[in-house]
Amino acid sequence: MTDIVMPQLGETVADGTVAKWFKSVGDVVTRGEALFEVSTDKVDTEIPAPVDGILAIILVAEGVTVDVGTILARIGSEVEIPTEATPASSSHASVATSTSPAVPKPRDDGGEKLSPVVRRLLAENGLESSEVTATGPQGRITRDDVLAAVAARATATTASSATATPLSPVVRRLLSENNLDPSSLRGSGPQGRLTRKDVDDAIALRTATPVANQEMRIPFTKIRRLTAEHMVRSKSTSPHTLMVKEIDFERVDVVRRSFGPAFKLREGYSLTYLPFIAVAVVEALRAFPHLNASVGDNELIVHGRVNLGIAVDLDGDGLVVPVLADADRLSVVAMAAAIRDRATRARSKQLGVSDMEGGTFTISNPGPYGTLMTGAIINQPQVAILATDGVSRKPVVVTDSQGGEAIAIHSVGLVALTFDHRAVDGGYAARFLKHLSETIQNRNWTSDLSFLPKKKVESNT
């Protein structure tokens, strides 16, 4: 047997919550595949199985918080029957003996001794020993007896109706408590058997479905609750001030149109505005370091490294902010790859605590949704956050080398800086935005992508 324990997800993390089990007791597990999901106050992440085998027993149910090092489950060669005296090893909550679907303990009515194989087969098929006709020596139940009972039950089920599908005690109880018809649900277990997860999913769907003239109540997930608490704490801590600047992205857009096709062919994803903005931001932070800082005890702590946070929306479940360490060392291409990697791993819950720590400045990017202007909330303990909103084609006044003016169509958008007025004043923030704007509008972005084949595109200037 291999013990599965609550992992240490960061030096300061002392406990975690089992958010979800991806396997049920009796399921075959493969080393490296996702086994369960852990939620902490810093990150949600999937934990892979360390070995091949069968999920023998689950000791901590979903939703239970336990200390780091607590045994959560065991992987072995067969199902382990839980004992009544399974100890709880956490100060946070009692340790459950199983989770979806529950493994029934076969009755031992006649005092017969059940072999481990027989126990496993009874548990997997939701059978009680009293339901099986014993043909073994001294009235013992054999493996063939259990298989015969399973086959007989399957035959009877087919002959009667789909509603007669065998149900485990836990599934029966949940169906009864929630007034659900088993024939209306599709089973995902062996031979189409309903599992606890099937019933839980049906209950959750019905709970989230609004009824006419009735309010819909959707409980906060843990990450949504933590996001809300963090936002409220930030607003009460920092005097937020918003400053907005319009930026002409035409030079960036020319480069995107010129090198975008080759970039997508090489990298497998599109070249967006965000990596260009991020490179310009870290350059501006080097020139205006008081925005790459935190407020301490009557002091401003200016950070030596530029660790850029990128806010990632988890499809409405909340926000996480993975960090790109030493982002001022990244080129446009490297920045694009780093941002995509963190966002992908965030949405698939593959980030570790180390990916979320040490941020010194944050970018929030609602721009792909066509927003006009966003006043983002500062990610404490930082002193500023930049929101990058939608870029669109607009008429602008352009000036030629002789000072003549003309109207042209350019790609234009707003960036909005929210800053902590304790740390800097408006003039400092305005100069930061001016530096950022000038970098985006005037930098030779072609040099960052000159290694790619170029598609000829004329600038509308």
Contacting residues for 13 by C-beta, under 8 A, at least 6 apart: 40, 41, 42, 68, 353
Nearest to 345 by CA among 307, 312, 306: 312
Nearest to 17 by CA among 46, 33, 37, 42: 37
Residue 421 designated active-site: yes
Contacting residues for 449 by C-beta, under 8 A, at least 6 apart: 255, 258, 259, 263, 332, 333
Given the residues 144, 297, 421, 435, the one annotated as active site: 421
Given the residues 108, 144, 326, 425, the one annotated as active site: 425
Helix (H, G, I), strand (E, B) or coil at 32: coil
Buried b (16+ CB within 10 A) or exposed e, 330-363: bebbebbebbbebbebbeebebebebbbebbbbb
Nearest to 317 by CA among 291, 296, 346, 293: 346
Bridge partners for 293 per DSSP:
302
Q: Whose structure tokens read 């007669």?
A: 164
The rounded distance, in Å, linking the Cα atoms of 175 and 167 is: 10
Residue 240 designated active-site: no
Helices (H), 178-221: 196-208
Paired tokens of 373: 């202007």
Paired tokens of 450: 């000159």
Contacting residues for 384 by C-beta, under 8 A, at least 6 apart: 291, 361, 362, 378, 417, 418, 419, 420, 423, 424, 429
- What is the side-by-side order of every strand in the sheet holding 240-248? 240-248, 405-420, 384-399, 361-364, 308-310, 323-324
CB atoms within 10 A of CB 242: 14
DSSP secondary structure string for all residues of 345-385 = HHHTT---GGGTS---EEEE--GGGT-S---PPP-TTBSEE
Bridge partners for 2 per DSSP:
75
What positions carry a catalytic annotation?
Answer: 421, 425
